[in-house]
Amino acid sequence: MKFAIFGNTYQAKKSFYAQTLFSILEKHHAEVYICRDFYEFLTNDLKLNIPTAGLFDDDNFDADMVISVGGDGTFLKAASKVGSKGIPILGVNTGRLGFLADVSPEEMVTTFNEIYENRYTVEERSVLKISCKGQELEDYPYALNEIAILKRDSSSMISIHTAINGAYLTTYQADGLVIATPTGSTAYSLSVGGPVIVPHSNTIAITPVAPHSLNVRPIVIRDDWEITLDVESRSHNFLIAIDGRSESFKEGTQISIRKADYAIKVVKRHNHVFFNTLRTKLMWGADTRL
């Protein structure tokens, strides 16, 4: 098999298991290509001897499978480079919580044995696309987790006029608004009080960040509906964060968010159950007094 590998290049401890990963792939006679900045981090900073068939930059690669080594942030970076290629992504979790990157380093040997025995599943995860009228978006316009509209340069709230399929919903007076996929429902959206959504529910969650009104609550809509937003700000600007990548926009920019025309494929172990992940990662039912 041919693998393209991305990894965390900021924290040495998150790439500590990279040598083990490459040893496993070498035993399987895998054809391994590595993102150039990750390779340079491993060889120059960590002084590792890494065998590779070649290096690649940005999204200039092709493979049977992509491997992300790090946390969910690294997985999101890999997903942005895979884009519409349709290459499945396996996340090896060397970070903390890890909903997307959920294969632990201790499970790597077993996981790759299962992959070579074709005993794994591939889940398709929906992606959001943002379009802006009045100011061009400079970065990649697709989000696997969420698109967030946030205040900037002021402690004052922003006003976010929101419509669904052209029908007015409400004006959120808040610090921001998070529009999340089911995949992103356990990320930023969850931290601001959004609902946990089953991955294949074909929905989008809209959750305000610190709303001024106590009776404003999250809402879940169909993912084939279009969300349009118009933002007012006392500082006349605001932020758009796409899976954590943020840009500043001027007041008056019209925003449209809809489901993208492609999905990201996520590799899961053959015995993976979403509800087991919830219980384990979020410690549902655990007695924290023990």
Q: Which residues belong to the active site?
A: 72
Rounded CA-CA distance 195/86 in Å is 28
Nearest to 242 by CA among 194, 192, 179: 179
Of all residues in the chain, what percent are helix, strand and coil, respectively (each to 5)?
25, 40, 40
Rounded CA-CA distance 178/187 in Å is 10
Beta-strand relationship, 2-7 and 176-180: unpaired
User: Taking the CB of residue 62, how many other CB atoms lie within 10 A of it?
Assistant: 11
Helices (DSSP H) in 68-199: which residue ranges? Answer: 72-82, 108-116, 188-191
Beta-strand relationship, 2-7 and 65-70: parallel
